[in-house]
Amino acid sequence: MFSLPQLFGEDIEEFNSALDRLLSQTDALAAMIIDVGGFLITCRGENSAFDATTLAALAAASFSATQQMAITIGESTFNSVYQQGEKFSLLLQDVNGQCLLVVIFKADNSVGALKYCSTDTIERTKSQLGRAQERHPSQGLDLSSLNLADPSAVFKRKQE
């Protein structure tokens, strides 16, 4: 079972810096790192233009479904998914089996160039995830301030 390591500020900073570099090299609109379970880890670029949380969930699902298709036809893996639209295109690439790189770019830009440039982004993300994994999993984790003796429900129903 995969399990994402706990992420610290330095991890996110490194992801962001790798994504920013990719954006500046390719003039893609936005790039994000998500986990295969569908969580958004970080998003750079013009992320106000779309609902990044929903996109992350759908991208992860689409990628997983594609992986499953690969297995079904006897391929060991498809490590990327590319969708070309009229205005925008979408490229999903595997990082390390736990995380994916999602890039939204203008449809008239070349996917080949983008793939070429993202090799470095993927490498940097992968190494940082490796470093995060090597730390002790509970290091620095302090959730003890969450006071669950507090009986108030997290989610409240509207009163009619």
Partner 1 sequence: MAIINQATKELQVKIVYYGPAKCGKTTNLEQVHGNVQNVKEKGKLVSLATSSDRTLFFDFLPIEAMAIKGFKTKFQLYTVPGQVIYNTTRQLVLRGVDGIVFVADSQYDKMSENVESFTNLEENLKSQKLNLSDIPYVLQYNKRDLPNAAPVDYMEYVLNNRELQVPSFAASASKCDGVFETLNMITRLLLNKFINEGSRKTP
Tell me if residue 92 falls in helix, strand or coil: strand
Q: What single string gives the DSSP state of each residue in 103-146?
A: EEEETTS-HHHHHHHHHHHHHHHHHHHHHHHHS-TTTT---TT-
Q: Least Å distance between CB 35 and partner 1?
A: 6
Tally the C-alpha atoms within 13 A of residue 120's C-alpha that lie toward its C-beta.
13
Q: Which is nearer to partner 1, 53 or 84 (CB)?
A: 53
Q: Which is nearer to partner 1, 56 or 114 (CB)?
A: 56
Q: Least Å distance between CB 82 and partner 1?
A: 20
Q: Least Å distance between CB 120 and partner 1?
A: 23
Q: Which is nearer to partner 1, 49 or 107 (CB)?
A: 49
Give residue 27's identity as a one-letter amino acid code: D
The encoded tokens of residue 53 equal 């949380």
Q: What are the residues binding partner 1 (CB under 8 A)?
A: 1-4, 6-13, 35-39, 41, 51, 53-54, 57-58, 60-61, 64-65, 68, 136, 138-148, 153-159
The rounded distance, in Å, linking the Cα atoms of 110 and 87 is 13
Q: Which is nearer to partner 1, 64 or 80 (CB)?
A: 64
Q: Least Å distance between CB 88 and partner 1?
A: 19
